[in-house]
Amino acid sequence: MKKILTLCVFLLYMIQHTQAQIDPSLLKGITMNPKKDLLNMDAIYDRPFVSNKKAPVSLGGYVEANWQHLGTDGISDGHQLQFRRMTLFVASSISKRIKFLSEIEFEPADKEIAIEFAAVDMEFNELFNLRGGMIINPIGAFNQNHDGPKWEFTDRPLSSVAMLPATWSNAGFGIYGKKYNNNWMIGYEIYASSGFDNSIIENTENKTFLPAAKKNTERFEELPSGTPLYTTKVAIRHNKIGEIGLSYMGGIYNKWQDDGLVIDEKRSIHVFALDFNTTLPKTNTFITTECAWVNVDVPKSYSEQFGNKQFGGFLDIVQPVVKRTIAGWKDAVINIAVRMEYIDWNKGQFIDTGSNIGDHLWSIMPAVSFRPNSQSVLRLNYRIQKQTDVLGNPPSNTAGFNFGLSTYF
Amino acid sequence: MNHRIQLISSMIIISILVLSCDKFQPNAPTDDSLLDGPVNGLTYEQNRQFLAGDVAFNDEIFSPATGLGPIFVATSCGSCHAGDGKGTPFTTLVRFGQTDSTGNQFLHLGGPQLQNRAIPGFKTEVIPNGATSSKFTPPANTGLGFLELVSDEDILSMSDPEDSNGDGISGVPSFGYLPEFITPNSNAVVKNGKYIHRFGKKAAAYNLLHQTVNAYNQDMGITSTFTPHDVYSGFSIDPEVSDKTVRDVVFYLQTLKAPIPRSKGNGNFETGKALFTQINCSGCHTPQLKTGFSPVTSLSNKTIYPYTDMLLHDMGTELDDGYTEGFAKTSEWRTPALWGLGLSPNSQGGQYFLMHDGRAKSIEEAIMMHGGEAKKSRDSFKQLNESEKSTIINFLKSL
């Protein structure tokens, strides 16, 4: 207790005496996308950047760090201090209608420095833009709009990281377009990219696990199946109703031929996602939800441990409760929020018994967040989670706190 | 000043949460409701080896990249023994090709175990024409280290091949030859070069190393220096699991705690036990055994209550699948331990799958499926009134 009080006093001292070390007048805050109401597909440019007037590039990024204390069935690893990631954005307007943006992520826990996004956008028409490079496949909304400071929860949605691959980037090309008309907006994206491989069913997770394909860095050079992964999304937004998006991603995932010899059947994957977000006008309650259905052609001779159908999703409800000057921060906001999540990694029944296959999880996570400004957030979450194994045995119970900060810089 | 108060209040709240976060987490299940966990009193070094074995057993999932298959039954040890408990029909394996003591006649066609799963691009095995087979549901792992330490002499003392006491029960030990990698115990009883085997449904495995090495090879298609032959090609290939990992897993199995009885001392337990003895279930399911010396103090010279004699018994035509292993007859089965029986649903998806192949969906059904040497006891159970039956079943559930 004494140590914690000492730490509090030290933090208070630092808050009062720390001065900005950079002359902010040298850098100008800009946004690459000046429109106010945006679709999720605009999220990659809807980020704060800083730019020196004479420099050809704009820079930005965000950082996330957490403390967590979770326990499962009476066993806890105690306090964990985590530096989740730092992401750098580098953007450049090469000409009025040619833009480049890159997103480089540093995740020290995974010893990973990865280019998540690095693509050139060429605008031919509002409804016809060409994008090429390393793209993020727009399956669901979270893949498009995943920056930590935008969310009130320290963890990314489980269905987006443990069922769908979060920040699923691939080498690819595609087209997209948007049309704005008063309160209405419509956008589409179509990409052909590299994609999955056998690891989605040949992995150490003991389940069909799409995120396993993220470890295959060869996908930036070679498509295992020799055929592209197709991803497409259509989103419609009305400013008074909200945005709804429907996306699909699919193709052949496995290496079925090698050196001209057929070594397996062609096996396909199909993923459908539905996302919706809105802000209720009277209460300013922000609601965002996403659910996805995964169908994977798993060989019949393989283990039923690896499901051919999956379903998962999340629902976030965020309610601002205080908006005023707090501790000197003008228009600071305190939110209360809750996230509900569900994943079923293996929908179906066992052949031998006809009983339901388990391998599912649900979680509910109340939260409080403090936003001193729109670009920074402190958040405290309490997770309650139940996870059932493939046999449907009594679930393991997990619960505990997360506290984290995330901010654009 | 107001800002400072707000900040201090926030920090005090956060500090309280930090200090009390343990209180907001799920409680541990009681020890007697779990089958996994180590025996008490392991040293630091032993705890480390137990943990290494735990990780290898429960967390190491094999994939084609790490040696799985190409034909296999399961992708990890833990897949078949969830929570170290019994398996289900999904994890049940099939063995085929042997009908008598002359050995397996179908080794050249994939025997003795059917690898009923295959990695993509490969075909599974099928049971060859003419081969008889039997399904084996994975047993619980709990308390195996204690059973390994019961002396051969004690096992022999429980056998009664000629049924000299006339109770209709004539258990025999399972004598078999040792594979090269097994070093017999110093006090082992040898008969014509054969040693008493005690693990497996037909007691065809000598000790936990023997059982573990075979499981790696036959269940997951993982080769080791102990069994270097690939189940698919039959050729010797590089080891896919290290000797250390195998030894760690064996140590893990040896040092898993014995199930903790949940109603010992209450009246119903004692009544149930008395009825169990009265109808002579205890003729094979011997309540009490003792372990010999072990360098692991917690296992050494202990009295245990596994309810098995580790002998082979003829269970009659009811349980004769026409398949066997080692030198057992097709109708002979090793008495399974009954400790932890009541916790089976926790690893069997909330249901019971009992007997060697999971055919019984309740304890009562399992009792009624007993035949051969157990026929008298089964018939005696049948004669009991409902209350007495229920008392026995509750007693069995509490072990």
C-alpha–C-alpha distance, residues B191 and B170, integer Å = 19
Contact at CB, B15 and A73, closer than 8 angstroms: no
C-alpha–C-alpha distance, residues A157 and A383, integer Å = 12
Nearest by Cα to B320 from B370, B361, B381: B370
Judge whether residue A1 has pLDDT over 50: no
State the best of B30, B35, B79, B90 to mutate against chain A, taking most chain A CBs within 10 Å.
Answer: B90
Give the 3-state secondary structure of residue B193.
Answer: coil
Residue B173: pLDDT band by 50, 70, 90 thresholds?
A: very high
Convert the pLDDT of each residue in A239-278 to its tens digit.
899 999 999 999 999 999 998 899 999 999 999 999 999 9
- Across chain A, mean pLDDT equals 89
Contacts of A103 (CB under 8 A, 6+ apart): A44, A87, A88, A89, A115, A116, A117, A118
Does A183 lie at the interface with B, CB-CB under 8 angstroms?
no
Residue B263: pLDDT band by 50, 70, 90 thresholds?
A: confident
pLDDT for B302 equals 96
Residue ranges covered by each domain of chain B = 32-260+280-383
Contact at CB, B8 and A304, closer than 8 angstroms: no
Mean pLDDT of A30-51: 74
Bond from prior residue into B112 cis (ω within 30 degrees of 0): yes
Nearest by Cα to A267 from A301, A305, A233: A301
Does B15 lie at the interface with A, CB-CB under 8 angstroms?
yes
* DSSP string over B199-224: BTTTT-BSSHHHHHHHIIIIIH----
CB proximity under 8 Å: A 192-211 to B: 198-199, 201-206
Three-point CA angle A388, A392, A394, nearest 5°: 65
Residue A8: pLDDT band by 50, 70, 90 thresholds?
A: very low
pLDDT for A47 equals 84
Mean pLDDT of B292-305: 95
The two beta strands, A309-326 and A329-344, are: antiparallel
Residue B268: pLDDT band by 50, 70, 90 thresholds?
A: confident
Convert the pLDDT of each residue in B192-218 to its tens digit.
999 999 999 999 999 999 999 999 999
Does B121 lie at the interface with A, CB-CB under 8 angstroms?
yes
C-alpha–C-alpha distance, residues A120 and A132, integer Å = 6
Query: Residue-wise over A304-314: b if at least 16 C-beta within 10 A, else e?
Result: bbbbbbbbbbb
Mean pLDDT of B127-140: 95
Q: Where is pLDDT greater, at A3 or A231? A: A231
Q: Measured between CB atoms, which of A301, A352, A390 is closest to B89?
A: A352
pLDDT for A259 equals 87
Residue B264: pLDDT band by 50, 70, 90 thresholds?
A: low
pLDDT for A37 equals 63
Q: Say if residues A298 and A208 touch (Cβ distance below 8 Å).
A: yes
Q: Measured between CB atoms, which of A69, A201, A391 is closest to B21?
A: A69
C-alpha–C-alpha distance, residues B273 and B287, integer Å = 9
Give me the interface pTM, i.e. the ipTM: 0.89
Number of other residues whose CB lies within 10 A of the CB of residue B203: 27
Q: Say if residues A40 and A245 touch (Cβ distance below 8 Å).
A: yes
Does A349 lie at the interface with B, CB-CB under 8 angstroms?
no
Beta bridge partners of A338: A317, A366
Beta bridge partners of A82: A66
- In degrees and rounded to multiples of 5, residue A110 shows phi and psi of -95, 10
What are the structural domains of chain A?
Answer: 22-408 (2.40.160.10)
**Residue of chain A nearest B27, judged by CA positions:** A74
pLDDT for A204 equals 92
Three-point CA angle A342, A348, A350, nearest 5°: 130
Percent of chain B with pLDDT over 70: 98
Judge whether residue A299 has pLDDT over 70: yes
Q: Where is pLDDT greater, at B92 or A34? A: B92
CA-based radius of gyration for chain A = 22
- Across chain B, mean pLDDT equals 93
Residue B11: pLDDT band by 50, 70, 90 thresholds?
A: confident
pLDDT for B355 equals 96
State the best of A302, A326, A385 to mutate against chain B, taking most chain B CBs within 10 Å.
Answer: A302
pLDDT for B249 equals 98
Convert the pLDDT of each residue in A202-221 to its tens digit.
999 999 999 999 989 889 98
Residue B9: pLDDT band by 50, 70, 90 thresholds?
A: confident
Contact at CB, A327 and B6, closer than 8 angstroms: yes
**Residue of chain A nearest B33, judged by CA positions:** A394
Does B63 lie at the interface with A, CB-CB under 8 angstroms?
yes
Nearest by Cα to A333 from A366, A375, A382, A364: A375
Bond from prior residue into B70 cis (ω within 30 degrees of 0): yes
Residue A14: pLDDT band by 50, 70, 90 thresholds?
A: very low
Mean pLDDT of A49-53: 78
Judge whether residue A24 has pLDDT over 60: no
Between the alpha carbon of residue A11 and those of residues A66, A404, B371, the distances in Å are 17, 16, 76
Mean pLDDT of B356-383: 96
Contact at CB, B90 and A389, closer than 8 angstroms: no
Convert the pLDDT of each residue in A126-177 to its tens digit.
899 999 999 999 999 998 899 999 999 999 999 999 999 988 999 999 999 9
Convert the pLDDT of each residue in A77-130 to its tens digit.
899 999 999 999 999 988 889 999 999 999 887 777 889 999 999 999 989 999
Roughly what angle, to the nearest 10 degrees, separates helices B243-254 and B44-54?
Answer: 110
Judge whether residue A20 has pLDDT over 50: no
According to the 3-state scheme, what is the secondary structure of chain A? CHHHHHHHHHHHHHHHHCCCCCCHHHCEEEECCCCCCCCHHHCCCCCEEEECCCCCEEEEEEEEEEEEEEEECCEECCCEEEEEEEEEEEEEEEECCEEEEEEEEEEHHHCEEEEEEEEEEEEEECCEEEEEEEEECCCCCCCCCCCHHHCCCCCCCHHHHHCCCCCCEEEEEEEEEEEEECCEEEEEEEEEECCCCHHHCCCCCCCCCHHHHHHCHHHHCCCCCCCCEEEEEEEEEECCCEEEEEEEEEEECCCCEECCEECCCCCEEEEEEEEEEEECCCCCCEEEEEEEEEEECCCCCCCCCCCCEEEEEEEEEEEEEEEEEECCEEEEEEEEEEEEEEEECCCCECCCCCCECCCEEEEEEEEEEEEEECCEEEEEEEEEEEEECCCCCCCEEEEEEEEEEEEEC
pLDDT for A17 equals 45
Q: Taking the C-alpha atoms of B229, B233, B235 and B237 in order, what is their torsion angle to the nearest 10 degrees?
A: -70
C-alpha–C-alpha distance, residues B217 and B227, integer Å = 7
- Measure the N-to-C terminal CA separation of chain A; round to a whole number of Å: 33
Residue A18: pLDDT band by 50, 70, 90 thresholds?
A: very low
Does A328 lie at the interface with B, CB-CB under 8 angstroms?
yes
Nearest-Cα distance to chain A for B390, in Å, is: 25
Beta bridge partners of A169: A136
pLDDT for A55 equals 76
Does B22 lie at the interface with A, CB-CB under 8 angstroms?
yes
Mean pLDDT of B109-121: 93
Judge whether residue A302 has pLDDT over 60: yes
Q: Where is pLDDT greater, at B13 or A64? A: A64
Convert the pLDDT of each residue in B335-359 to its tens digit.
999 999 999 999 999 999 999 999 9
pLDDT for A6 equals 53
Find chain A residues with C-beta within 8 A of B118's C-beta: 299, 301-302
Beta bridge partners of A238: A184, A242
Beta bridge partners of B91: none
Residue A224: pLDDT band by 50, 70, 90 thresholds?
A: confident
Contacts of B358 (CB under 8 A, 6+ apart): B87, B88, B89, B92, B135, B137
Convert the pLDDT of each residue in A329-385 to its tens digit.
999 999 999 999 999 999 999 988 889 999 999 999 999 999 999 899 999 999 999
Does B27 lie at the interface with A, CB-CB under 8 angstroms?
yes
